[in-house]
Copies of this chain bind each other. A is one copy, B any other.
Amino acid sequence: MVAEIISVGTEILLGNIVNTNAAYLSEQCALLGINCYYQDVVGDNRERIMGILRTALERADVLLIGGGLGPTPDDLTKETCAEVLGKQLYMDEAVKTSILDFFNRKGITPASNNFKQALVPEGAVVLENPNGTAPGLILEANGKHLILLPGPPNELVPMFEEKVKPYLQNLVPGTIYSKMVKLCGVGESAVAEQIADLIEGQTNPTIATYAKTGEVHLRVTAKAEDEKAAKQLVKPMVKELKERFGNHIYSTENDTTLEKAVVDLLLANKLTVATAESCTGGLLAGRLINVAGVSDVFKNGLITYSNKSKHRLLGVKKKTLEKHGAVSKETAEEMAKGLAALTKADVAVSVTGIAGPDGGTDKKPVGLIYISCSVCGKTTTREFTFTGNRAKVREASVAAGLNLMRESILEYYSKEIFGS
């Protein structure tokens, strides 16, 4: 089974938007065990859309087509697909009613061109769109499957998840099952080295590597007759990865982020948390507060960018700042300890460093970051040197901060429990 992903929209060709739909649909095809050899982007132009459709019909079984389903005369995807397949359009009363309902809910009177969206090619399966007015469509002809999806990602993604995925699963013989193994605190190349023997000559299951800032995700995918059999193939590989990477694995759940893993750990151990940030300026707290339910554990966050605020709010000694500087192991440690004393939080984490582009010296270059984490009085401080621009350095620092929190809590409890 081969799929081709076609994105329709002049705005993509002008560079106004980044084509995240294509990346999403490609990943979904990979997850379903469907090969994808081409992605195409074409503007809102009848001849050119037609040309792309004809080419894609020759080289793929499934065409996933996003965009161009709107109400304006520029939106030509549906009309052109129908034309290529020799199908007529008719007014679908059910779709018309649901468009009316959508506008009623919003208290707006629909314009006459909105009903263009209720025109449906004969024989098409209509996919309801609860998030917009353009319904999706599935057209079948001569063993080919054309799947038309609305362009906005917040409409395309839920429609794919709910309607298209089950449809495609039915087309693919067997079942695909995959499990994500998410690692932190270990680099991409180190991970690659440690799994080289598993990846070499892999057939079923397979491991795919995805690198994120401060994280590496491994997706283990297997194909079998049914889900149970596929799960059985995935299981020993995940077990092997757990043995190899141990505590570096922060989750095997698709929707668990690193910050959620940290918050879950805090909740599980009934620990409160506070942050004090210099160069990351609130981004670490921002990621923690991205987790719904963090309010039970988050005590306070401080952004102490200046020396004055490090001294006044956190009690970092003037002498420390003078002797070692604001970017130093000593300052980071006093920040974390001062924060713990001030807020009475169980876990107190601090970040100080040089995010650039200015402020670097030979001894203390741009990218030098110190992170300190105090867990119930036990403080660990680490030095990092990150590369990249200001935004990259800050993003990497936040990931390293989350990872240090995680490791410090795990270590504290292992010592508590085992008395070592």
Contacts and interface: CB of A to CB of B under 8 A. Distances in A.
A248 interface: no
A213 interface: no
Contacts of A305: 289, 294-295, 298, 300-301
Chain A's interface size range is 35 or more
Contact of A290 (B25, B388, B390): B390
A229 B264 CA distance: 61
Contacts of A282: 275, 277, 281-286, 289, 301, 303
B292 A299 contact: no
B300 A301 contact: no
A284 to B, nearest CB: 7
A14 interface: yes
A306 interface: yes
A285 B303 contact: yes
A88 B305 CA distance: 57
29 contacts: A12-B26, A13-B36, A13-B37, A14-B26, A14-B27, A14-B36, A14-B208, A15-B23, A15-B25, A15-B26, A15-B27, A18-B18, A19-B23, A40-B40, A55-B55, A154-B388, A282-B289, A282-B303, A283-B286, A289-B305, A290-B390, A290-B394, A292-B390, A295-B306, A298-B303, A300-B302, A300-B304, A300-B305, A301-B302
A20 B22 CA distance: 11
B289 A298 contact: no
A13 B39 contact: yes
Q: Which of A25, A28, A36, A304 has the most CB of B within 10 A?
A: A36
Interface string A325-360: 000000000000000000000000000000011100
Contacts of A267: none
Nearest to A211: B16
Interface string A2-16: 000000000011111
A297 B254 CA distance: 41
A28 B40 contact: no
Interface in A253-296: 275, 277, 279-286, 288-290, 292-295
A235 B304 CA distance: 43
Interface stretch (A41-49, A139-147, A176-184, A405-413): A41-49
When all copies of this chain in the complex are counted, the total is: 2
Contacts of A45: 37
A279 B283 contact: no
Contacts of A384: none
A48 B38 contact: yes
Interface string A199-210: 000000000101
B12 A18 contact: no
A85 interface: no
A167 interface: no
A26 B13 contact: yes
A294 B394 CA distance: 15
B19 A22 contact: yes
Contacts of A309: 299-300
Given A282-B281, A357-B292, A40 B43 contact: no
A30 interface: yes
Interface in A219-272: none
Contact of A28 (B15, B38, B290, B358): B15
B38 A38 contact: no
Nearest to A52: B38
A310 to B, nearest CB: 10
Contacts of A294: 305
Nearest to A308: B299
A377 B393 CA distance: 36
A171 to B, nearest CB: 19
A313 interface: yes
A17 interface: yes
Contacts of A279: 289
A41 B282 CA distance: 38
